[in-house]
Structure 1
């Protein structure tokens, strides 16, 4: 009969009470109000589909469950908060919630999951201290079988949390230190740690009560019953003074346990009966069941079945009254309705998110298609542009190489002339200089710009060759402005050579006396001015003396230069200019001027 009655009680009144709203239990009412309010706020944020508020309210509700000792529910809502914060990519919030989740799992002895989440929180932490705190907790749990190893991690966390001024966590760390000391059989340090925890928990009365009860337990284990009784009686007195009936019932139950330990069963039974009576009067079925179970268990061990039956009959007679006065079931049902609403809103939110996701997927597909077409168009444009540029580069290279045949023809004629005149030394010298020049020209044939020193070297070798052939017709000089760094400055490759050739072949070689050819590189206002000046017969007289073929070649040479300059300007945006002037007045001759910007890299 007794066993059956106990079974009935267990089925009717589960230990875990989700939410109560009894007007006579102050702390319970406060807890219930907070949980209910947090649940309503969560419901509203889900209805609004505001992800940031949803995440905050999940966390808020989880914390209320954690404070109420419902670690399973706390874990459930911390996980949901974590999912929302992950979606929002809020690292600081993820770090905080992951640590809270680990605590809820640790409280449920789910150490593997707790360790993993402490480590994740440590890896997410931006602050070095915060990272160390989480890793200390992970290592503390990893060494659960070795209390001596745990001590250093707990002590490290206490110091770090003090620096961070996190009072509640400092209190929790001191509680961990106390438990660790108990594992190490050091009750003195355990009590000292609990007392230090009290200092940091002074703003949380419920935590203070829990810690003081733990201190009382340590005194009981150490057979210091008077100290334990003093703590429990003080807590009982405070509960009665504050009309905190739940705390009063719990302290009476704790006192009964203490009296049983002290071998004073009469006082223990008295305390249990008082706890049972208050539970009945105030409509707290959970605590009434707990007190009744302890009483029946005691009577059963003593073989006092009549007493246990009398208690059961009394309970059964007052059962209906207890049910009517206990709001636990109503409040549990009310919260269940709220929680069902939350679940429904979550499903609606998931559906909305899925629809939005599908819509976004379609939009992304559409945008992606447009972008792909745009990229394809840009690729085609770029390809066409590259082809155009490549064609221009080929054209430029072709124009640059177009100058060589005439020069080669003239050079070979010169060698032939030296040989016919039996001037073997001059022919040999000429061929050596010519081969050196041609080698330099071949090396640089694929370059649009070369350094000034290399260009000057090529032009000097060319002028030396022409001077070797027409040494009685002209002298020459090359001047480079000393402010120009010839090794770093770049100039168009072989763009001056055709004009030097024209000056010699169409101006200076027709003179009766020895002429002069000047090539200057000057730096003015950030621009390089190349001046080719001769005192030959001039453009007008030169045209009169030229054959038709010579006129065609000169015209082609000028066009070649203009085309090369145009192509260089298009390809490199260098704004190169070119002009040919005939000297006027008494002085005869021609001036060629090429201007381009100072170029220090290509």
Structure 2
């Protein structure tokens, strides 16, 4: 017995030594080191350090790194500033890399801005591509982009990367992680798109108060697009609906609906009608709900077929809740026809008869199951049975075990109601089998979900680690730069004492340049002041015209005139801050202004605007509302006093390769006769108005090298009529 015991002890010791040696071989330890330039020992930050066993890190601002490795690992040091360096691990000793041909930090940053930015964009494009195909690959590409951005400090790209990561998590219903990603993106750079996505994630996660806060904040912004504004109103409506405040919900949905209608956003018009119907239904205002649902049904016909089917099913659910089963059945049968036709087309590309939506899936078996339930609610058992049987069969083909189970249970109950206990028992046995199968499948799904969550958590931890490394690297790098700046300041202090006279000379130069800039600023201020002094007579007289139309009960003319007038005023205000605008835009304003004046004095004159056929109008810029005062003078001080109907002509023609000639010609009473007819107040107003125009042209010509020239003369030898000629030069 003792002999066998000795053999056993020796065997155990042998195994222990073998395992110990194997453990030592695979034992992971931390390696520290640095990467520096060989000649001046300059630290190299942002070097990517990887091991063949999967380790990953980036050198900090001092060129230092730490990484886990095992004996035999191959460590790679990669950077755009030098060729890749490799090192084989033989022990846990520190590894210091000295690079022969190192490019200094500033050039390295320039190098990254060209090559690194392209690489980051490639990673993010790949992440978007795999977003709905392979979540692991998609997150890996985002991780690589964040890792690459760790050494560049590009806030815009970093925000873009985190936003895409949030969209990936949101697509896979990982709303907590999506919210965190969007918050990281907003820390890097605030964008309206990311704020709206954050608000939507809060809605999906049922954090309605947080969603409301986000959307209210975005709603105060002025620089958001019309579509983004409609999304904000929709988000606020959803948030208030989630908070059971249906009154506020309906208010914001209606705001969104008005915006969508005024801007012809067809898809949003349908969505808002549908959501207003939801809110009224939740508030038990069924008549109002049905009215908006009817609208959404009609509008959805103009949308994609999938959207139309979704809306029919939603409204059918409403009819089910209000016990309007006949309407429900009719609508579901219609959506069933549409879905079968849609699936027939889609099967040419991929075999499917399921339409996925954000909340559930719409399939032919589900619709048939709901039709059967509507018949059962009316105790129409014979009509319900075929739909239940078809639902069970199609669910079996699609492996939709939930619908198959529910429809089988219902069919068993129907047979029991009809007194066919044999079929009821057989069907119930099938139901029990399906329940067992479903239970096993649920356990498998829970297990898969747990593994999925574990993998996601692992990848998220790596991203969090990269973010911490990036912040640490940034702080150390800033510290290193601060130290360098302190040394530079000391050097410059010494240089400043030596080159004091040079600085005095530079001061004199800057003083001269400052005076020149001040003169330019004064010119710009004067221009702004002159632009803002629009002749008030036109506004006053235009409003009088509207008043006259109203007094004559000519509401249509008043509305048309007021609409054209408001369009002109809006355009004038939009262009009021510009020194020059495209000539095409100025011609549109003149056309509108002349049209308004003609509508008031149609018995006094006709007009025509001629643009040379071969003239490239888009190539020229003109000061805004520069021509209008001269046209106003032609009408008010020339044509208005004629006994016969006069004519106003505006010609735009090419004068030379780089200039055009704009002529404003009227056959009115002429300048001399007009001056005799004016009151003293009118003379004063004209003098002031023409004086402003002259000052404005003088300032513009001083700033832009004689760009505009104006000449005014009598049109006819007898002094009647007036001709104003503008010479406008092209920008060089």
Higher relative contact order (CA 8 A, sep 6+): 1
TM-score under structure 1 length normalisation:
0.46
Structure showing the higher helix proportion among its residues: 1
Structure showing the higher strand proportion among its residues: 2
Larger Rg: 1
